[in-house]
């Protein structure tokens, strides 16, 4: 593999800047899965490496493998679940500055345990991502045979800086969306009559699972309330996004 040159680094930084100017740094179509896939893929291809962007709690925010074969079935399952092993995160917690070319024998390597004998020259580079003093996550790069050069690190850290700003943007947007949803729920609850509120209490007081099946007519008879009160209460909560329901006909309602 030919090492990256200073001229190529400059060209790639200009390419990244062009993406940022277009406001096209993250993929809106994959926001719920890998929101920063576009930039992570750009970096992985540019450096001919695997690239992983993870939040501080291990949520996978972007992933592209130039060397898919280094993953085992176990690590591939983690990629698909969008969550890294908590034990691996613990090994990263003390990293405050970029650590380059971590060998395969180090617990901080991103290479699967099952593949270490095959990739004894494998190198991992970990770039912690900060917004001010807050650690947002990690940008992890991996190569099975080659070391990362200083020029590779310059490009990697530049991308990491861009990602930090975008991660803050996404985080703030999620907070706003959660607050909006909370307000909608509060509004829906305040619109409930005493009878409707009581009906919801009766339905959910002993529910401990995320899914439940109810029969409104049975509850109405047992609690001496009308079926319409139960139906109205459920509709108001469903419209606020608290839960979703599906009619099962004579068998009741699945919530």
Phi first, then psi, for residue 30 (nearest 5°) are -120, 25
Q: Give, rounded to a whole angstrom, the gap between the first and last alpha carbons of the chain.
A: 55
27: pLDDT confidence band, cut at 50, 70 and 90? Answer: low
Q: How far apart are CA 245 and CA 255, in angstroms?
A: 4
pLDDT in tens, 143-165: 999 999 999 999 999 988 888 88
Structure tokens at 215: 């029969």
Give residue 31's pLDDT band: very low, low, confident or very high (50, 70, 90). Answer: very low
Structure confidence at residue 155 (pLDDT) = 92
Strands 213-214 and 246-247: unpaired
pLDDT class of 116 with cuts at 50, 70, 90: confident
pLDDT at 51: 94
> 21-35, 48-62, 77-91, 235-249: which has the minimum mean pLDDT?
21-35
The position carrying tokens 């419209």 is 239
Asked whether the predicted pLDDT for residue 2 surpasses 80, the reply is no
Residue 23 in this model has a pLDDT that exceeds 50: yes
Q: Mean of the per-residue pLDDT values for the chain?
A: 85
Alpha helices by DSSP H, listed for the chain, are 6-21, 37-47, 73-81, 86-92, 150-190, 194-204, 216-223, 227-239
Q: Do residues 166 and 36 lie in contact, with contact meaning Cβ atoms separated by under 8 Å?
A: yes
Q: Which pLDDT value is given to residue 29?
A: 54
**Six-digit token string for 150:** 């200083």
Evaluate the CA torsion angle 214, 216, 221, 224 in order and state its sign: positive
pTM over 0.75: no
Residue 133 pLDDT class (50, 70, 90 cuts): confident
pLDDT of res. 168: 80
Predicted local distance difference test score (pLDDT) of residue 28: 54
pLDDT for the residue numbered 50: 93
Pick the more confident residue, 60 or 166.
60
Of 84, 8, 76, 73, the C-alpha closest to 45 is 8
* Whole-number pLDDT of residue 106: 92
pLDDT in tens, 170-206: 778 778 888 988 888 888 888 989 989 988 888 888 8
List the Cα angle 38/42/45 in 5-degree steps.
135
Q: What single DSSP character describes residue 28?
A: G
Residue 73 pLDDT > 50, yes or no?
A: yes
């Amino acid at each position: 593999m030919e090492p990256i040159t200073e001229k190529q680094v400059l060209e790639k930084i200009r390419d990244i800047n062009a993406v940022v100017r277009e406001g096209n740094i993250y993929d809106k179509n994959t926001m719920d899965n890998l929101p920063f896939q576009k930039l992570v893929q750009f970096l992985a291809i540019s450096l001919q490496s695997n690239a992983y962007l993870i939040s501080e709690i291990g949520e996978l925010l972007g992933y592209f493998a130039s060397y898919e074969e280094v993953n085992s079935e176990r690590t591939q399952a983690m990629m698909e679940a969008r969550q890294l092993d908590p034990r691996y995160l613990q090994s990263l917690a003390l990293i405050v500055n970029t650590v380059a070319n971590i060998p395969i024998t180090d617990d901080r390597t991103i290479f699967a345990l099952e593949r270490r004998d095959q990739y004894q020259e494998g190198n991992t580079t970990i770039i912690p991502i900060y917004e001010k003093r807050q650690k947002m996550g990690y940008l992890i790069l991996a190569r099975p045979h080659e070391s990362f050069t200083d020029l590779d690190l310059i490009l990697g850290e530049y991308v990491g800086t861009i990602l930090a700003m975008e991660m803050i943007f996404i985080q703030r947007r999620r907070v706003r969306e959660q607050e909006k949803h909370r307000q909608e729920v509060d509004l829906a609850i305040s619109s409930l009559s005493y009878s409707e509120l009581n009906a919801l209490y009766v339905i959910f007081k002993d529910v401990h699972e995320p899914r439940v099946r109810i029969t409104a007519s049975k509850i109405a008879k047992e609690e001496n309330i009308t079926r319409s009160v139960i139906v109205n209460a459920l509709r108001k909560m469903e419209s606020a996004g608290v839960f979703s329901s599906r009619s099962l006909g004579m068998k009741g309602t699945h919530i």
